Amino acid sequence: MNGAQHILEAFHRHNIHTVFGYPGGCIMPLYDALVDDVGVEHVLCRHEQACALAADGYARASGGIGVCIATSGPGATNLITGVANAYMDSIPMLVITGQVPSGLIGTDAFQETDILGMTLGIVKHSYLVDDAEVLPAIMEEAINLAQSGRPGPVWIDIPKDIQLTEIEAPAAATCAQPDPLCPEISDALAMLYSAKRPLLYSGGGVSLGRAEDSFREFANTSALPGVVTLKGIGNPGKNNPHSLGMLGMHGSRAANKAVDECDLLLVIGARLDDRATGKLDGFAPNARMIHIDADAAEINKLRPADLALRGDLNRILPAFTEALKEKPLAIAHWQKQCRTWHTTSGFQAADNEEALAPITGPAFIRQLSRITPDDTVIACDVGQHQMWVAQHYEFDHPRHHLTSGGLGTMGFGLPAAIGAQFANRRGTVINVTGDGSFMMNAQELATIRRYNLPLKLIILDNQCLGMVRQQQELFYNNRESHINLDDNPDFVAMARAFDIPALHIERTDQIRRGIETILAYDGPMLLHVAISREENVWPIVKPGASNRDMIDEKRRTTTSKEHVA
C-alpha cells in the first residue's frame, strides 16, 4: 500500500467511518485512495474551517474522534480556527493535511506554509512526516494520543510524495491503554463529612471522560446541591432536584449565591474558567476546595486546591458513591436553603401570553425546550442566543449541548450541527444561531442540501451583534460601535435559494406553530425568528468583577448612570 492507503487502513482499524474535508493539490493522493474505499464516508464541506468545526461537532455528539482533512497552504490555514476551538474545549480530533513534496519544503513552493510552526500552540501534538516508513506508526500514535488522557486535536502534515510512496512496513497494532488507578479518597471524604455547606461544581470533563453515568449516580447518591459550567450543562440530567443551573457571568443568582456561601467546593472536571469564576479573589471566598481532574495541569493553575485527586472519573466517582451509600451526608438545612434560592433566584423567563407581543429570546427557548424530544441535540453559535439556550433549555445529557466554550467561535454552530447529524443520522439536531454568527459559515447550507440532512436551523435575528451591543450599552456609556447588521439578507429567501424550506415568525402566538412545523418536516428547514434589538441577557457580571456583583434588568438604569458619571 502507498502512504495514502495506509492512512485509510488506520481509519478502518480504529472504526473511523466519517471524515470531513476539502480536496486540493497536495492532498490529492489521499482523495484518490478514497475513490476505492467504500468504508470511509467523506463529507465535503464548503470551507475548510467548517470541516474542522464539523469534525468537532461529530466528536462532541458521538463521544468518538472527529477527523478533518485539507490540502496545504490556505487549506491548512483555514482549518486553524476550528482546530483552536477543539483544543480550547479538549475535543479529540485528528487533523490531516497535505504538504508540498519533501524536496520543496523550505523553498516557498506554491501553497507551502509552515503549518507545524503555526499550530504549535493549538494542538496536543503535531507531526511533519519526513519518512514514509514511519507513517503507519505515526497514524496509530496520533489517533491514540488524541483520545487518551485529556483529549485534544493532533495534527499530521504529510508531504505529497510520502502519500504516494509504497510502504512495506506492517500496519501498527493498536496500543493498549494502561488500567488507571483510583487515588486514595479517605481525606476527601473526611472533608465532605465535616462540611456544613458543600457544593458540587462540574464541568466539561465529565463528558470528556465518558463519566456521565458515574457522575449522575454520585450526584444523586450524595444529594449535593450542584452548579455547572457552560460545558457542564446536562451533567445532572433534566430536572435534577439538586441542580442550581449554570454559574458565572450569565449564570443564575442562585448558582452564584451558593458558590459564595458554600464552605466546601467539590470541583469535578472543570478548569475554573474566568467566565465561570469571575474575579478570582471573590470566588467561593469561604470554601475549601477539592479538585478532581484527569489533567494535572489544571490542578492549582488558578486557585490552589486544598486537596487534589487526579485520575479517571469512572474510577474515582464510584468510590465516593459507595462510601456515601454506607454513610450519607447530613446537609438537610443546606439543601433546603439552596432549593429556596433556586426557586426565588433561578433563571426566570415569563412567557408572554399576549398573542401580538414581540418574541423574546428566553420565552422562545423555553418553548423550544418543552416541545423538542429529550434526546434533541442543540448546537449553538456564540452570543446572546448561546446564553439564552444555556439558561433556559433543559438538557438531559451533556452531549446534547454543543457550544464553543473556550474560544467562543462565531460560526461554530452550523458546521457543528452538521457533524452531530452525521453522528446520529435519524436524531433531532437543531442549530440555534444569531444573525451575526449564521453569516460566518452560511455557505454550509450547501452541505446540508448536498447530503439532504434533516437538520433544523433557527435564527434569532435582532439585526445586530447583540452581545457586543449589550456590553457597549452597559459598560461603554451606550456608545455603539460597528454592531449594526440591519443590512442582513432575507434569510428565508437565502435558505430557499439552497432549496431549503424556510418560515418567518415575529409574534408570541407563532412560536409553537413555527417550532412544530420545522420539527415535523421531513428534511432540512429554517425558522427565522425576529426579536427585539434592545433585548439583553440577564443577569450579567461585568468582565473582571466578582460574581456576587451581578447586574439584572432592575439595576440596568443605575449601572448605565454610574458609567456615564
Q: Which amino acids are annotated catalytic?
A: 48, 110-111, 160, 467
Sheet-wide strand order for 264-268: 243-246, 226-228, 198-202, 264-268, 288-293, 307-310
C-alpha to C-alpha distances, 140 to 9, 136, 422, nearest whole angstrom: 10, 6, 24
Which position has the grid cell 435575528?
A: 461
**Phi/psi at 254 (5° precision):** -60, -45
12: nearest Cα among 38, 32, 30 = 38
CB 418 within 8 A of CB 445: no
531: nearest Cα among 503, 508, 551, 556 = 508
Which position has the grid cell 425568528?
A: 529
What are 153's strand-pairing partners? 93
C-alpha to C-alpha distances, 412 to 274, 399, 471, nearest whole angstrom: 21, 16, 22
Q: What is the dihedral of CA 513, 463, 391, 477, to 10 degrees?
A: -150
CB 60 within 8 A of CB 52: no
Which position has the grid cell 401570553?
A: 353
Distance CA 502, CA 517 (A): 10
CA pseudo-torsion sign 227, 209, 85, 442: negative
295: nearest Cα among 265, 272, 266, 269 = 269
- 3-state SS assignment for residue 15: coil
Residues 6+ apart with CB under 8 A from 490: none
46: nearest Cα among 498, 446, 449, 525 = 446
